[in-house]
Amino acid sequence: MTDLTPNAAALTDLLTSSRRPALGAFLPAGFPNWTAGIDTLAQFAHHGADFLEVGVPVHTPALDGPDIAEAYATALGQGAAMAHVISTVRLTAANTRKPVVVMSYAERVRDFGPERFAEELAEAGAAGVMIPDLRGEAAAQWHAIAAAAGIHAPQFVSRRDSDAELEQAAATSSGWIYAPAADARTGFQGDLDIPGLRAFTSRLRERARQPIVAGIGISTPARASVVAPYVDGIVIGSPLVRPLLKSGEGRQYALDQLAAFAEALRPAPQLRTLPA
């Protein structure tokens, strides 16, 4: 097995050594356009993101709600291709010195070629690639391909999964396991079932050694602080993409939102006992 690339190893350190959950910020490659997207990712790094997640645009994002689906459509309408994804990863990793991970549906990976996809992203500086619609043997095959390239292959799991399915996901993933905070599509803004999330992450901890990263439904900084005790990382997507779909002050609002999420995850200061 190939050793982890330095960027993949840095992501492992980030998720396993911090006193608080690491904060990830998501943006589709090529959105709002190629150059603005790269600049926005750099600004995310300056406004509190510990790692960055780049989405591969696709026409039918089965797990995503309307905001991210619209952002993907915008990117594709401007000609976003896999070359843009790889160059976005390369420039973002080099300019921010933050771990960069990629989220792609299996369709795009199959069309590009899984081995080529893993190798080119590893060379570009990606720390890992999550393909959320892979399960079973297909997930095991991708795990082996990613390992050969030295990058992580996290798995997406559901609280509806059986214990056996969670064990299989743990065996065919590396880097982290993605456990949605809500059993819904991205952009969900309804109530979170925190007791259900606590039970879900407890089941995962019993069966997996990988860090747990949560997203979906963490729509406000207050919700991030409530989810934080149960996970090792939180990824924010729709709360950042939604304002970017609007003109005017959309990007500044997204950056302010990200800074508020970062503040909500900041560990409480340690109280010192003063001498009498």
The catalytic site residues sit at 53, 64
Q: Which amino acid is at 95?
A: N
Element (H, E) at 27: strand 22-28
Burial environment of residue 193 by CB neighbours within 10 A (0 to 12, 13 to 18, 19 or more): middle
Q: Is the torsion defined by CA of 261, 262, 265, 266 positive or negative? A: negative
Distance of CA 90 to the CA centre of its chain: 17
Q: How far apart are alpha carbons 117 and 130 in whole angstroms?
A: 12
User: How far is residue 135 from each of residues 130, 139, 158, 169, 204, measured CA to CA in Å?
Assistant: 12, 5, 12, 8, 16
